[in-house]
Amino acid sequence: MATIELAKRVATRPTWAEVSLSALRQNFRIVQKHVGDGVTICAVVKADGYGHGAVECARALEDEGARWFGVTSLDEAIPLREAGIHSRILLMTGFWRGEEEEIVHLKLTPTVWETGQIELLEKAAAHMDARLPIHLKVDTGMGRLGVAPEDLPQLCVALKASKHLVVEGLSTHLASSEVLDAPSVPEQLQSLDRVDQLLENEGFHPPLVHAANTSAVISRGESWNTMVRPGIALYGYYLPFERAGREVSGKGLRLPVKPVLTWKTRILSLRDVRANQALGYGGIYVTKAPARVAVLPVGYADGFNRALSSRGRVIVGEHYAPIVGRISMDLTLVDVTGLPDIAVGDEAILLGARDGLSVDAREHAALANTVLYEILCGISKRVPRRHIS
């Protein structure tokens, strides 16, 4: 009994992430309006909804009208089905041998690019007397997954022999969609068009053709085809655009999406320290004058990137507070010297906005020399997500 009661306890450690489902829905509406009603959105909720909570986000998006979801693999699809998500689910990176019957049973849509995958799915669908839609992925230049265009005729032979599979989709992935002058993008799109024509000649007519991720959704209308796969835009972000190696912006390169996630904690302790006091592991930060330091119960085990040490900042009250010293596994120090009315238990915003102040995933990514995807996906499981309608 004690074990069961312990398992049901709500996390009380004061570090949490608030996920605004209303902002998520608004972002979906913005993307749909941008591409138009004639283009189907496959809302990407892989990596636990980019760290936002895939099940809760999928429920909100389904209520908003999303009819397709993109995940990495079967293990990401199962929780969605168990949660009652009825929309179509695309397995964007294929499947492992042995998963094919579960794919048919759960009415998932696998991406394929090899004859062995086709044979496994055909056998499973025939065994269960089912018709299984599949999406064919072609490698147009990314060099990761997909059938090479020159190998497509051999794949078509296997597809024609598969009586229980339906070629519903054709897809590829753009390698440099945020680089506006990248020659690879038009080359990849032309390659996709040639493959589509080849499939037509072989008697296949996939109604869903898709290549566009978030950057292409924003900047390359010619890539939309009949389906797009926005991911990070749904959560309020997109990568900066480049031309000639420099970041560029403009009216046509913006979508008014807003960040969905706010990451918060509370001040655990306040300490008054003397001048010339070394703080944290290694003593890399030394106070120049007497200071007041707030201890926050958050660290790199929560996904608070260690590269922010003595570089990043948080929001405390109506002010920015710089991070001082090295971020440790469970604790972070910030300088609150001179900030009025600061007390133990006060909120500190790690990611988010308040009173005209903002710290977002782009800022963290720039300081950590990484991409904002890693910042959001890196928020660990020990940080509870609170989904707010």
Q: Provide the β-strand partners of residue 375.
A: none
- Asked whether residue 251 carries a pLDDT value surpassing 80, the answer given is no
- Cα–Cα distance measured from residue 174 to residue 106, given in angstroms and rounded to the nearest whole number: 29
The whole-number pLDDT of residue 1 equals 45
pLDDT at 128 over 80: yes
Phi and psi torsions of 101, nearest 5°? -70, -35
Query: Tell me, what's the pLDDT at 250?
Result: 78
Work out the average pLDDT over 242-262: 90
Instruction: Tell me 202's DSSP state.
Output: T
Strands (E), 138-267: 165-171, 208-212, 227-228, 241-243, 246-248, 261-266
Strand (E) or helix (H) holding 133: strand 132-137
The count of other CB atoms within 10 Å of the CB of residue 330 is: 17
Closest CA to 61 of 31, 34, 21: 21
**What are the DSSP calls for 356-368, one per residue?**
TEEE-HHHHHHHH
Q: Please indicate whether residue 241 or residue 252 has the higher confidence score (pLDDT).
A: 241
For the chain, domains (ranges, CATH) are: 39-244 (3.20.20.10), 261-388 (2.40.37.10)
Joined together, the tokens standing for residue 75 give 């293990």
Both tokens of residue 110?
A: 């696998």
Q: What is the mean pLDDT of residues 347-362?
A: 97
Q: For the stretch 12-35, what's the b/e string if a residue is b when 16 or more beta carbons lie within 10 angstroms of its beta carbon? A: eebbbbbbbbebbbbbbebbbebb
Find all residues with CB under 8 Å of 328, minimum gap 6, and list them. Answer: 280, 281, 299, 300
pLDDT band of residue 248 (cuts 50, 70, 90) is confident
Q: Give percent above pLDDT 90 in the chain.
A: 93
| One-letter identity of residue 27 | N
- pTM: predicted TM-score of the whole model, two decimal places: 0.94
Give the H/E segment covering residue 270. Answer: strand 269-273
Is residue 335 scored above 50 in pLDDT?
yes
Average pLDDT over residues 330-354: 97
On average, the pLDDT of the chain sits at 96
Buried b (16+ CB within 10 A) or exposed e, 116-155: ebbebbbebbeeeeeebbbbbbbbbbbeebbbebeebeeb
What pLDDT score was predicted for residue 3? 52
Percentage of the chain surpassing pLDDT 70? 97
Sheet containing 269-273, strands listed edge to edge, beginning at the edge strand earlier in sequence: 269-273, 291-296, 332-335
Task: Give catalytic residue positions.
Answer: 46, 281
Looking at residue 217, its pLDDT comes to: 97
User: What span, in angstroms and rounded, lies between the C-alpha atoms of 312 and 285?
Assistant: 13
Segment 328-350 shows an average pLDDT of 97
| C-alpha 111: how far from chain center | 19
Work out the number of other CB atoms within 10 angstroms of the CB of residue 321.
24
Confidence of residue 8 (pLDDT cuts 50, 70, 90): low
